[in-house]
Copies of this chain bind each other. A is one copy, B any other.
Amino acid sequence: MKNIIKIGIVGYGNLGRGVEFAIKQNPDMQLAAIFTRRDPKTLVVADNSVKVLSIADAEQYKDDIDVLILCGGSATDLPVQGPQFAKMFNTVDSFDTHAKIPEYFEAVDEAAKSNNNLSIISVGWDPGLFSMNRLLSQCVLPEGNDYTFWGRGVSQGHSDAIRRIEGVQGAVQYTIPIDSALEKVRSGENPELTTREKHIRDCYVVAKEGADKAKIENEIKTMPNYFSDYDTNVTFISEEELKANHSEMPHGGFVIRSGKTGEDNKHNQIIEFSLKLDSNPELTGSVLVAYARAIHRLSNEGATGAKTVFDIPLAYLSPKSGEELRKQLL
């Protein structure tokens, strides 16, 4: 391969590790460096031949890195890091606070454009692959309804909410889509579904010694926003069981468009996209890496500013030529 794409990672949590593994599956890419806020010497990375550096030194590596993948969180890291690194590098991130995407886009666009860099924001699966399918299926079927179901998967936010309850030592919460609701949607019925009808919340909780389990269960089930609008199951388990059976990060979900076409709109047309993931951060990392390729190529063509998954032709994600793609995949 002549032109290896040199990738940098900022932030080495679950997502950063997911990106590291994904890069290894793409022979046209190479991990050039991992930047961390921690003491670089303390970081144990999957491939110990990779440079681990302080995030403060990133700017010095501007010329050694084609695309920087930002693996920080959306709450506090990315709002600062997105615009900051877009001034120095081409960037890819997974900013996922849906309500704040417009302002984040503007900030990154401004920073990237004024420095002739190219960034793509909000890459992953939701926002990301799910958004692409919402857009595509709405354009194909303008008359219809959208349904998104999440799970079965771990919700970090809901697990954290349980952990903050007094007497709780550990907890994992799974969001589970309700099969009968999915089936109703797939049948073309176009049902109106309440929150309770779409998802179950399944909680595995380790109580501290002597804690009042009935009280914990009640606090979970009545917690507004997080649990009170759902049918919630609470199961108390041991610390060992939590570690043994609930330390993976599965997730997934379904985006379904149920539309109508033809004379008197008599025909039901269902478009469905779904994910079943053993590892949420590894899939997200894999999507980020595919878009890093696209950003590298578009940047070489002179594009600047901020983009989203809506703006990039699919061909740019692939190492194959247009000719190969038409022959093999169309």
Contacts and interface: CB of A to CB of B under 8 A. Distances in A.
A314 B132 contact: yes
Interface stretch (A61-69, A160-168, A193-201, A269-277): A269-277
B273 A261 contact: no
A122 interface: yes
A237 to B, nearest CB: 23
25 contacts: A25-B143, A101-B330, A102-B323, A102-B326, A102-B327, A122-B330, A129-B271, A133-B273, A134-B329, A135-B317, A135-B318, A136-B317, A139-B314, A140-B287, A186-B276, A261-B279, A261-B286, A262-B279, A269-B275, A269-B276, A269-B279, A271-B275, A308-B326, A309-B330, A313-B313
Interface string A274-306: 111111001101110010010000000000000
A268 interface: yes
A268 B251 CA distance: 11
Given A312-B313, A313-B310, A261 B18 contact: yes
A309 B315 CA distance: 9
A327 B286 contact: no
Contact of A329 (B25, B138, B140): B138
A142 interface: yes
A286 B102 contact: no
A43 interface: no
B310 A282 contact: no
A325 interface: yes
Contacts of A135: 314-315, 317-318, 325, 329
A81 interface: no
A310 B325 contact: yes
Contact of A269 (B127, B277, B313): B277
Interface in A108-141: 122, 127, 129, 131-136, 138-141
A34 B174 CA distance: 54
5 closest Cβ pairs, A-B complex: A267-B278, A139-B317, A261-B282, A310-B315, A270-B276
A21 interface: yes
B283 A269 contact: yes
A263 interface: yes
A46 interface: yes
A155 to B, nearest CB: 19
A98 interface: yes
Contacts of A262: 18, 21, 279, 282
B311 A261 contact: no
Contacts of A22: 261
Contact of A272 (B131, B134, B143, B274): B274
Contacts of A282: 261-262, 267, 269
A322 interface: yes
A309 B314 contact: yes
Interface string A16-43: 0010011001100000000000000000
